[in-house]
Amino acid sequence: MATFHLALIQLQISSIKSDNVTRACTFIQEAATQGAKIVSLPECFHSPYGTKYFPEYAEKIPGESTQKLSEVAKECSIYLIGDLYPVEMKKP
């Protein structure tokens, strides 16, 4: 039976989105160097937790955060689960 390594990342979140994404990418790279093939980030990893923050941290998909996550996943040859609750949604 084949085995694989799964990494579940927890990280301290700040009010600066770019710092949160950079910190997440650092942890993703570290997990990959330790053999992880699937890496999962926590929900709302790029913003403070709470719906009141969503409008300020929202971004389109694809966007800056998804672009950086995609790049690091490709670079590390891993599957990445990254939850971006605050996304820009079109109103009906």
User: What's the full length of the chain, in residues?
Assistant: 92
**pLDDT single digits (tens) 57-85:** 888 888 889 999 999 999 999 999 987 76
pLDDT score at 52: 87
Domain ranges of the chain: 5-81
Host H or E run for residue 8: strand 5-8
* Residue 6 CA neighbour count, 13 Å, CB half: 5
Strand, coil or helix: 6: strand
The stretch 49-55 carries a mean pLDDT of 84
CA dihedral 33, 8, 22, 81 (to 10 degrees): 100
**pLDDT single digits (tens) 2-33:** 888 999 999 999 999 999 999 999 999 999 99
Please state, rounded to an integer, the average pLDDT across all residues of the chain: 88
